[in-house]
Amino acid sequence: MTHSTQARTTTHWQRFSVPYEFPVVFTEGVFDADNPALREVLCRLEPAKRHRVAFFVDDGLGAPLLAAIQAYAERHRDALELACAPVAVPGGEKIKTELHFVESMQQKLFELHLDRHSYVVAVGGGAVLDAVGLVAATTHRGVRHVRIPTTVLAQNDSGVGVKNGVNLHGVKNFVGTFAPPFAVLNDLGFIMRLPDRDKIAGMAEAVKVSLIRDAEFFAWIERHMDDLATFERGAMAYMIRRCAELHMRQIGHGGDPFEMGSARPLDYGHWSAHKLESLTRHHARHGEAVAIGMALDARYSVLAGLLAPGEEERICALLEYLGFHLWHPALARTGEKGEWAILEGLKDFQEHLGGELTVTLLAGIGKGVEVHEMDTARVREAMQWLRSRAGD
């Protein structure tokens, strides 16, 4: 074979794997001077080193917490150095919808000359963790990030996940990264001080993961719904811990932690929830929207012949007992052609992942099943059912 006829293209395959591991610590009084949990996670790789740390704290948590952080750092000054006074940032969707806050946090890290062995600690709800996580992941291509979630939803779901992101162009989490945290510290004390509405909202994710992964956990929630509805300390602690364990199992062993495929099995009830949040300009909490989405998809599962009739009522009854309202006026909003705007959520859901539409439905309590099409007439029928139940 002459040189001119030899193949001109050569392909070399580069393959490597990177192990990820991080501790998820359940504690109380994380900033009490005699609680070593935070110190231990910061020092777990280099125990003899003094570590520089920057804290970004949800401004709704109050000035006393900022003082407690400074006092903790002073008590443990042999192990950690505050790079600056703790920085208060907006909580809720505001921090995710106004890019100014991301830019200002990146500016702060630039001014502090933090390196990749320094720490960025986020203290707050899921929105704060998402935004600060994005900043940490994109500064020097990754500064060590520690999450201290302060809401039920953040402790039992998003805090133990590997996603960060903010909203852009009206699309939820349009800009983001997959970047596991360095550590997560869940402090039950934050949960017990939450307003009732926020405690309730976070329970939606526990119901969700039980429905798709653990029938025994769903039965436990049913047996303890009185304790959960009254926020009994022990029940809240177990509910959060078990929910976090199930999320961690799916992320660690589900085969697609960075969502390279078209499925999001943990997002049962979410295709409509994300759209409802947008339609209400985030006045509906994420957990409140997910509860409605779960009820909608439970009814759809029955109509599709996947779930036994009556099970959707069982699911709705539990959600309502926990304090959720399973209808919102924004669900009835229509677009220019008179179609319910919520149906746009299916297109948005598919576009976010790419590939074919993949939605998780129910084949039984504790058994999620993936489908690749949703019959819009059936969705409308499920919507009408929800609306009738609510007496709207």
CA angle 350, 93, 199 (to 5 degrees): 100
Domain residue ranges of the chain, discontinuous segments joined by + = 24-192, 196-389
Structure tokens at 195: 């307003």
Give the Cα separation of 265 and 246 in Å (integer).
Answer: 12
Does residue 132 contact residue 163 with C-beta atoms inside 8 Å? no
Which fold is adopted by the domain 24-192?
Rossmann fold (3.40.50)
pTM of the model: 0.90
Position 8 scores a pLDDT of 87
Position 173 scores a pLDDT of 86
Give the Cα separation of 103 and 150 in Å (integer).
Answer: 23
Dihedral, CA atoms, 204, 207, 213, 214, nearest 10 degrees? 150
DSSP secondary structure code for residue 50 in this structure: P
Say if strands 87-89 and 51-58 run parallel, antiparallel, or are unpaired: parallel
Task: Judge whether 24-192 and 196-389 match in fold.
Answer: no
Position 349 scores a pLDDT of 79
Position 321 scores a pLDDT of 98
Position 4 scores a pLDDT of 55
Longest dimension (CA), the chain: 82
Does residue 108 contact residue 144 with C-beta atoms inside 8 Å? no
Range 196-389: architecture per CATH: Up-down Bundle (1.20)
Position 257 scores a pLDDT of 74
pLDDT in tens, the chain (392 residues): 555 556 689 999 999 888 889 999 999 999 999 999 999 999 999 999 999 999 999 999 999 999 999 999 999 999 999 999 999 999 988 999 888 999 999 999 999 999 999 999 999 999 999 999 999 999 999 999 999 999 999 999 889 989 999 988 877 788 999 999 999 999 999 999 999 999 999 999 999 999 999 999 999 999 999 999 999 999 999 999 999 999 999 888 776 677 665 556 678 999 999 899 989 988 999 999 999 999 999 999 999 999 999 999 999 999 999 999 999 999 989 887 778 888 888 888 777 666 788 899 999 999 999 999 999 999 999 999 999 999 87
